[in-house]
Chain A
Amino acid sequence: MTILNISLVTGSSSCPFIWGVDALAVPNAQILVNGHVFPYARFTQAQYDFGTPGNPDVQWTHGIWFYSDRLTNGIYQLQLQTTLQLDGQLTDATPFLTMTSSEFSTMLSNPIVFKTWNNLLVGTNHTFKAQTTIFPATWEIEVFDANGQWVTGQTGTTTNGNISWTWDLHDDLGNLRDNIEADPFFDPYVTLTAAAGTIQRPAPLSALDYPYIGGWNVAYQDSHKFYPNARVKTIEAWLAVVGGPSLKGIPNAAILLKYGKTNDVDMSSDPLQAMRDRNASWDNLKDHLLTPLFRNFYYWGHGSDFVLGGDWDSLTNEPPYGIHPNGAEYDLNVYQDGTNTVRTRAFLSSGWCYLLSPISGEDPHPYRFVFLDGCSTAAGDWPVPFGMQAETNSLDYYTDTNRFPYVRPSAFVGWNVDTYYSAGLNSTYTDKDRNQWGDYQKYAFFRSQWMFLWANPGSRTLTQALEQARDTSGWISSATYEKTIRIYGLRELLFNQFNQRGDWPTTP
């Protein structure tokens, strides 16, 4: 991997890279600052001009948005840490390799530093904070909306470098701007005027922390076609999961993720059209994930440490079980569709999800609940881009006002191993770690029961709902459950708790 341009970092910079490998093989990359993962950096894919002004050569490439003004000025050691997917399959043995580049130094001297800038607008008013190295000075904070339209602003002076303004969320016309569906984010700028002149910097994009009510994305990858009976039951269970939020009057999107080859059920006989269909369904999921309304996400399909999805079954002929799917694999074909080149987009990487990060996202977008119901989804960094950590926390942790960012209580559910069901009714599958997995009917019933028990009447905690669903369904034993599931964040989260904008911060 080669870093093309990271030595001149000022403010927020996009640093493009050349990996030397297929883009599909890079699900994530991060910047390390002085040996630690720097949260104010976001892996991205963007078009970059490799040419000259007179001879542009615009190509898609990978890069990282590096928000250097989130650091105090000084000399730092930077490294690029890249996660590579070492084969084209998402199976129970997909190898991932994390590599770290050698260190190199960079010196930061930003005139305006946003280390203390809180870009989540929590509650009924919000304080913007920044520091400047230029003082005394007059400062101005201007707030524009997502369409670039003026919202409001404030001016002040600083004699010690501190800049601070508390905004009551009203615009200059007196309108309350507390609806994230109307204002997905705000785009503030800070301008300093001092004896030496005037300087302006874009502040971190800032957003209301939550919609009036947090919607649900309930996504299902149609990945059980190999076992038609299982497919029927899992689709029924998905519909049951979809119904949970709906019956509570919560906005809800049922997202079907297309899967399979041209000769599979429901797929076009044209491989290009089949790829288009799969890509479109995953684009739909990504659009929904980025929509500020949605703050709860349930995904049911193939997974791994860093990537969800895949195009079709990866089949193995493994003695003594014979041919069976052992995960998903990508469609590696490249098609020409008119003037466009089409490749698979039927996946979601944790790196892409950093777009949602409440720290570094383009529109900070913390989630309240995420359940990635696929193999090994608790083994990578999945909680982080959704604004969570891979740790269990009490309510006291969340109510600590010194916590930064001050995101509301949330929970993440994933599996730290590959999960299975037995394809034969009334049979059991024993995996290589001697975990035992019940049949497809129990597998499906676990999901529908969980949602029913959590949503109704709404007083069960997440953990209680999952455990009773396990009990009632009989899919896995309590021993297997304890070994394989991971519930991070607030395990006591209730179905609709903290799911309205006014629920946070809590009132004592």
Chain B
Amino acid sequence: MRKIVLLAFVFALSVMPAAAKGKAKEFKIDFLCCGEMINIWDPAYSNAVLRAVFPYFKDFAKELNLPMPKLEQVQNFVPDNRKGEIGGGAELTNGFSFWFYRGVVGFYGPHSYPTKIKNYWSFPKFYGTPRMTEQEAIALARKMIKKLGYSLEDVFANFEPTVPPFVSIGTNTIPRYRIQWRDPRGESIATEIEVDAERKTIESLRFNNSLVVIQRPPPKVKIQPSELPDTPLNPVARSWRRMNQWTNDINHEYAYRLVPVVLRAAEDMVRRLGLDLPLPITPNQIRRFYCSNNGGSPYVDLFLKNNWKFVYRVNGITQFSTSRRFFDSEDIPFRLKDYVREWKLTEDQAVDLARLAVKKVGRPGLHLDGKPNVFRPAEIKGVPPIPRLTIQWVYPGGDKPRSEWIEVEVDCNRGTVEALRLDDVSSWGAPPDLGVPIEPDRVELK
């Protein structure tokens, strides 16, 4: 009897992935987590990217009344080093620098304080006399954001910024307002504008890459970069070649056979927690399926087109987050107003809810009885209450390697779980046997 069951199991395994394979290949699995590193030293490609993004620099300069950049002023341009990310940064002979990332432009002027410090003797060059107030500087900064076509809300500039005091050295002052609007999802700086209070000019402007809501598709570039050179004369290129190979470290056939396994596991998680994601999950709902070999077991990031996200690790789903997640939402369009609600759960109730959710999907015996760490949205003056908490249990604590790392984001208005992380090392068994090895055949680079 035992033998028959075993045979039946093997049969099921051998049939199921093969049947799913055709559908799975409707989309392309991403085998490089962070993009394929490309040859940015290829002059043809570099020039093509520069020509593609330069009109954006000019539009940006026009809106901010900066000196109009000219192509012949470019003394250095470094394209983005990931395939498909058409962008990069240019340094001009007049001291200006511009960069382009996913449709968003930022810049440093020739008098930008933090970027022009090359050594200790650079500092005194910035001494001056302030001729405008902090409020005037903030107003100027907001005006520039609007001129660029962004709403203040999208870049958090409708709230009160942090403005560090002027750097003063004896009677000397560096009259720079570094206006920083913080991101309530953490405390990182979302938008930062440097105002020269003596010249009454903007000297730098940068938006954090997590402001997905203002990002736009990049322009197309027809030229493909040539292959990365493999020469000791360019050690960086050589190391990027290795990165491309090291990260593309899984047998592709194994990865394609894994697709239905991951989708069914995600559906199972959705059912067990009663989440409101329509089922089944089909390949045409997938925006990105990244798959890697994490030391002999698979690791998958599954992003759906509706911004839900799952992580499959070793032999099961270890993380999910809904499209309504607040924390860790730097990869989706985010507007704070969507999260401003009334608090309806207390912290204790949120902890109970989190514990209940973990028990539904975790094994018995997880260390959930201790007092968890509780993370809240950052407190920023002017930001209304955001009823979100992340409840975290880590076992063991201290410096020891984590064998249980559990996090649950709770919407304390709706009383729902919006994200869950359940990294439980002791539940990691054998990876799925899909009839092919997970290790790829490959030739090591010298």
Residues of A within 8 A of B (CB): 93, 225-226, 228, 236-237, 239-244, 246-247, 263-265, 269, 315, 317, 319-323, 379, 424-428, 430, 432, 434, 436, 438, 441-442, 445, 448-449, 451-453, 456-457, 468, 471-474, 477-480
Q: CB < 8 Å: which of B120, B180, B399 contacts A239? A: B120
Residues of B206-256 whose CB lies within 8 A of A: 206-210, 232, 235-236, 238-239, 243, 246-247, 249
Known: A265-B235, A427-B210, A473-B114. A320 touches B123 (CB 8 A): no
B175 → chain A, closest Cβ, in Å? Answer: 13
**A426 vs B392: C-alpha distance when bound (angstroms):** 28
Nearest residue in B to A434 (C-beta to C-beta)?
B375
Nearest residue in A to B99 (C-beta to C-beta)?
A425
Q: List A contacts of B247 (CB < 8 A).
A: 317, 322-323
Confirm or deny: B290 has a beta carbon within 8 angstroms of a beta carbon on chain A: yes
B39 → chain A, closest Cβ, in Å? Answer: 14
Q: CB < 8 Å: which of A240, A319, A471 contacts B119? A: A240
Q: List A contacts of B192 (CB < 8 A).
A: 474
Confirm or deny: B186 has a beta carbon within 8 angstroms of a beta carbon on chain A: yes
A265 touches B236 (CB 8 A): yes
B401 touches A93 (CB 8 A): yes
Interface string of B279-310 (1 = CB under 8 A from A): 00000000000101010000101000000000
A243 touches B187 (CB 8 A): no
A505 → chain B, closest Cβ, in Å? Answer: 29
Nearest residue in B to A244 (C-beta to C-beta)?
B120
Residues of B within 8 A of A (CB): 32-34, 89, 99, 101, 106, 114-115, 117-123, 162, 164-165, 167, 169-170, 178, 180, 182-183, 186-189, 192, 206-210, 232, 235-236, 238-239, 243, 246-247, 249, 290, 292, 294, 299, 301, 311, 313, 328, 330, 375, 378, 390, 392, 399, 401-402, 405
Known: A320-B290, A426-B207. A438 touches B121 (CB 8 A): no
Q: CB < 8 Å: which of A240, A263, A480 contacts B117? A: A240
B375 touches A236 (CB 8 A): no
**A448 vs B115: C-alpha distance when bound (angstroms):** 11
**A265 vs B34: C-alpha distance when bound (angstroms):** 23
Other than the given A317-B247, A319-B33, A472-B167, 8 more pairs (CB < 8 A) read A241-B120, A242-B120, A320-B311, A322-B247, A323-B247, A427-B208, A436-B186, A452-B123
Nearest residue in A to B206 (C-beta to C-beta)?
A426
Q: List A contacts of B236 (CB < 8 A).
A: 225, 228, 265
**A428 vs B328: C-alpha distance when bound (angstroms):** 11
Q: List B contacts of A321 (CB < 8 A).
A: 33-34
A264 touches B208 (CB 8 A): no
Known: A243-B121, A317-B246, A428-B210. A436 touches B188 (CB 8 A): yes
**A479 vs B236: C-alpha distance when bound (angstroms):** 36
**A452 vs B290: C-alpha distance when bound (angstroms):** 45
Q: CB < 8 Å: which of B120, B294, B392 contacts A243? A: B120
B170 touches A457 (CB 8 A): yes
**A243 vs B178: C-alpha distance when bound (angstroms):** 24
A249 → chain B, closest Cβ, in Å? Answer: 13
Nearest residue in A to B290 (C-beta to C-beta)?
A320
Known: A452-B167, A468-B165. A426 touches B209 (CB 8 A): yes
Q: CB < 8 Å: which of A225, A430, A432, A471 contacts B186? A: A430
Q: List B contacts of A242 (CB < 8 A).
A: 119-120
Known: A243-B121, A426-B209, A434-B375. A319 touches B188 (CB 8 A): no
Q: List A contacts of B106 (CB < 8 A).
A: 426
Best-surrounded residue of A236, A240, A323 (most CB of chain B within 10 A): A323
**A225 vs B206: C-alpha distance when bound (angstroms):** 25
Nearest residue in A to B169 (C-beta to C-beta)?
A456
B120 touches A240 (CB 8 A): yes
B299 touches A319 (CB 8 A): yes
Best-surrounded residue of B33, B118, B188, B192 (most CB of chain A within 10 A): B188
Known: A317-B246, A453-B167, A468-B164. A428 touches B186 (CB 8 A): yes
Known: A317-B247, A320-B290. A236 touches B165 (CB 8 A): no
Known: A240-B119, A319-B292, A436-B187. A472 touches B170 (CB 8 A): no
B119 touches A323 (CB 8 A): no
**A241 vs B247: C-alpha distance when bound (angstroms):** 37
Q: CB < 8 Å: which of B180, B186, B235, B290 contacts A263? A: B235
Of all A-B residue pairs in the complex, the 7 with the closest CB atoms, nearest first, are A243-B120, A477-B187, A428-B188, A471-B164, A322-B33, A322-B34, A239-B119
**A320 vs B236: C-alpha distance when bound (angstroms):** 22
**A317 vs B250: C-alpha distance when bound (angstroms):** 12
**A263 vs B401: C-alpha distance when bound (angstroms):** 33
A472 touches B164 (CB 8 A): yes
B164 touches A323 (CB 8 A): no
B164 touches A448 (CB 8 A): no
**A478 vs B186: C-alpha distance when bound (angstroms):** 12
Q: List B contacts of A438 (CB < 8 A).
A: 188-189
Nearest residue in B to A457 (C-beta to C-beta)?
B170
B178 touches A472 (CB 8 A): yes
Q: List B contacts of A320 (CB < 8 A).
A: 33, 290, 301, 311
B331 → chain A, closest Cβ, in Å? Answer: 10
Q: CB < 8 Å: which of A228, A432, A471, A479 contacts B402? A: A432
**A321 vs B235: C-alpha distance when bound (angstroms):** 22
What would be 30 A-B contacts, judged by CB atoms less than 8 Å apart?
A: A93-B401, A226-B239, A240-B119, A240-B122, A243-B120, A243-B121, A244-B120, A319-B33, A320-B290, A321-B33, A322-B33, A322-B34, A425-B99, A426-B106, A426-B206, A430-B328, A432-B405, A434-B186, A434-B390, A441-B114, A445-B117, A449-B167, A452-B120, A452-B123, A456-B123, A457-B169, A473-B114, A474-B192, A477-B378, A480-B187
A194 → chain B, closest Cβ, in Å? Answer: 55
Nearest residue in A to B89 (C-beta to C-beta)?
A425
Q: List A contacts of B189 (CB < 8 A).
A: 438, 474
Q: List B contacts of A317 (CB < 8 A).
A: 246-247, 249, 292, 294
Q: CB < 8 Å: which of A243, A269, A426, A468 contacts B232? A: A269
A239 touches B118 (CB 8 A): yes
Nearest residue in A to B78 (C-beta to C-beta)?
A229
Q: List A contacts of B207 (CB < 8 A).
A: 426
**A441 vs B208: C-alpha distance when bound (angstroms):** 13
Known: A322-B247, A474-B178. A441 touches B115 (CB 8 A): yes
**A319 vs B293: C-alpha distance when bound (angstroms):** 10
